[in-house]
Structures are given as structure tokens and as C-alpha cells.
Amino acid sequence: MDIGLLIDGDEKAATGKASYERMDPFTGKLATRAAAASVADANAAVEAAAAAFSAWSDRK
């Protein structure tokens, strides 16, 4: 199972294509692979959050 980054409501791959792998301790096989965010990915997430904040904060 591959897990991407959730940025601006979309699942995306890390820009550097780096990932973390978690092995199933029972089978010894790969269980999940999660995208490892780069600084650029973190900046994109912050920009998306800042852009969405006004509309989000006005919701009641």
C-alpha cells in the first residue's frame, strides 16, 4: 500500500520521490510505503493551508 502526501485536498507523491517503508513483522514483507515530504512539499502544504484558511474559518 502506497501512501502519498495530502496537499490541497489531493494525494501527491513527494517531489523527491523519497519514501519510508514499513515492514510487516509477522511476514517480513513490505506492508506500507509512505511518501517522505521534502522542504518543497512542506512549503506547498503551508501555502495550500494559508490559501484555504479564510474560507475554512468563515464556515459555521
- Taking the model in full, what pTM does it have? 0.76
**Domain count for the chain:** 1
DSSP state of 55: H
Write out pLDDT tens, residues 20-51.
999 999 999 999 999 999 999 999 999 999 99
| Domain enclosing residue 19, as ranges | 2-57
Write out pLDDT tens, residues 4-24.
999 999 999 999 989 999 999
51 to 13, 35, 47: CA distances (angstroms): 21, 23, 6
